[in-house]
Amino acid sequence: MKKSVISMFFVVLLLLVAACDGGAAKNADGAIGDDGYYESGENGGYNDNYDTGDSNAPYPEDSTDTGSSYEPGADPAEPGYEDWESSDSEMSGDDMPTEPAEEPAPGDLIENEWVETAAENTSTFSIDVDTASYTLIRNYLMNYNQMPPKDRVRIEEMVNYFDYDYPQPEEGRPFSVTMEMADSPWNNETKLVMFGLQGKQLAANEIPVQNLVFLIDVSGSMYGDDRLGLLKKSFKKLVEKLNKDDKVSIVTYAGNAGVILDSVSGDKKDEIISAIENLEAGGSTAGAAGIKTAYTLAEKNYSKDANNRIILATDGDFNVGISSTSELVAYIEQERNKGIYLTILGFGMGNYQDDRMEQLSNAGNGNYFYIDSEKESDKVFTVNLMGTMFTIAKDVKLQVVFNPAKIAKYRLIGYENRVMANEDFNDDTKDAGEIGAGHRVTAFYEVFLAEKPAETPETPETDPEEGEGPSEPAPDEEDPATEPETAFGEDDFIVLKMRYKEPDEDISKYMDTVMTSANILAEMSQNMGFASSVAEFGMLLRDSKFKADSSYDAVLDRAKANIGKDTLGFRGEFLELVERAKALSK
């Protein structure tokens, strides 16, 4: 009798435990954001002029995409959902390690600290052309009525989301350089320094043929109008711009990877669009197998005179085969040396892997966008993507040398994960960012001027027109060249050094320019006024310890005063974001 009672007790206990586990699984499945940041998607869309479709709906069951095989409300843990462990992913053996490496948990970016110029007067970083952070922030604020997580606020991507009126470069140069210094708007003891790079526009006869591989995630997590539905609309816009000499391949992946199209001519638009329209979402996510298949296909169809590029569209939730970000990065770094670029387009919110997408695009000599609406799709696929797809300068590194006699302290605003060791500047084996045709890159430093400028010996000044700086040894792959000490002229505040490679070259070229008192403005230019308002907004969203007297009202006032033409309305939309963040912060 006692044994029967005890047995009954354990049966009841096991049933209770199972019920608790099931409830927990369902609750986790309904969260939006990696850390359960949202619990519902009931907040309405924003801006009547901004078409978000059904992007408010964070769950598959809220979607109306009838072309999908994904069952609304399906739980990956439930029977009938594809068993991801049974996938025959090909990413193994000699290609990549079979055991995923342990990865650190994502966290806040660590802001760049103040640096005493007397101790270290040189700062080196890679350019960044990504814009995904700004779009993600907009989605959090306007579609979900929530402040964005701090680790998704990358100030350089916010600033570089917008266009600025920088001059076209001189003949023979891949980009122009604009330098300005003005009073800091948030700290009356500091100055703000802005560098702006403007990539050259390509004439129609200079645009290379395109050899593109569309790598499309069709797993169950991509179900929905704001994911696969928006993806289809976006890619069709790109297809319409292709010509007969362009080639398109399509690789899809869910439980495993498959080739849908192999090197189809760009004038066969109906065939390409039909293949896109027929895509359906369902199954697990063999992202690594998809990446390997895409690179294999791109290499097979490689053309020396073409723009060879993979365009990966996904939410980044790889759960089959190799899923370690570090191992995927290592594989992509190997493949980029074959002249194949990688562009990443992010979709969706629920399980979106922002950190992973940024790392993979960096490794692939590419760029990273986040698509949250048809309006953003128009911006990316008709303006940004068509420019950044055509690389005009790769491995672009900036080295900023501050004159200790003029500058006492400095800090780089943003670019935290793009900072490089100073010795890497002359090392051509070190990877850096790319500039595309017509693209702009903006960077800010905040500085303290030296209180009592010291006397500086007379030295030959750099001629910014010639772009030839202090003589320096050529880079050496085995023994990176040592940077000679920079000689400053009497009126020199900063020397901006740049290294870049031509798209088909492996040896970098050097150019530099000097900031003098002539670059110090009594009032900010329109470019600097608006860009600095975006940077200040980023510091507020991150609750930066360097925000000093920053405020949402100051951001609004300066942005409004410097809004400019705003032909496409994105600057006016920025004001809406600031107003929403201001209201949410109270």
- For residue 477, give the CATH number of its domain: 2.60.40.1230
How do beta strands 440-449 and 191-199 pair? antiparallel
Residues 188 and 249 in one domain: no
276 and 327 in a single domain? The answer is yes
Does residue 53 carry a pLDDT above 90? no
Beta bridge partners of 122: 401
> What crossing angle do the helices spanning 230-239 and 269-277 adopt, rounded to 10°?
170
Task: Give me the pLDDT at residue 322, please.
Answer: 55
Tell me whether residue 487 is in a domain.
Answer: yes
User: Is residue 340 assigned to a domain?
Assistant: yes
pLDDT at 108: 59
The alpha carbon of residue 434 and the mean position of all alpha carbons in its chain are separated, in whole angstroms, by 12
* DSSP secondary structure code for residue 143 in this structure: I
Instruction: Quote the pLDDT of residue 387.
Output: 64
Does residue 558 fall inside a structural domain?
no
Same domain as 379, residue 457:
no
In a shared domain, residues 439 and 379: no
- What's the number of domains the chain is made of? 2
Across residues 547-572, what is the average pLDDT? Answer: 96
pTM: 0.77
Reported as a single tens digit per residue, the pLDDT across 142-184 is 999 999 999 999 999 999 999 999 999 998 899 999 999 999 9
Residues 177 and 259 placed together within one structural domain of the fold: no
Q: Which pLDDT score is estimated for 526? A: 98
* Those residues with Cβ within 8 angstroms of residue 202's Cβ, 6 or more apart along the chain or in another chain: 390, 392, 437, 438
Q: Considering the domain boundaries, does residue 397 fall inside one?
A: yes
Identify whether residues 329 and 362 lie together within a single domain: yes
CATH number, residue 381: 3.40.50.410
Domain extent at residue 375: 208-389
User: String of b and e for 218-233 (b: at least 16 CB within 10 Å)?
Assistant: bbbbbbbbbbbbbbbb
Q: Are strands 419-420 and 122-126 parallel, antiparallel or unpaired?
A: antiparallel
Residue 327 pLDDT class (50, 70, 90 cuts): confident
Residues 297 and 182 in one domain: no
Of 363, 389, 415, which one is at a domain's C-terminal end?
389
Show Cβ contacts of residue 201 under 8 Å, excluding neighbours closer than 6 positions.
168, 437, 438
Q: Does residue 46 lie in a domain region?
A: no
Q: Assess whether pLDDT exceeds 70 at residue 194.
A: yes
Indicate if 243 and 384 belong to the same structural domain. Answer: yes
At 495, which amino acid appears?
Answer: V
- Looking at the domain assignment, is residue 101 inside a domain? no
Query: What letter would DSSP give residue 534?
Result: H
| Residues 210, 309 contacting (CB under 8 angstroms) | yes
In a domain, 276, yes or no: yes
pLDDT of residue 351 exceeding 80: no
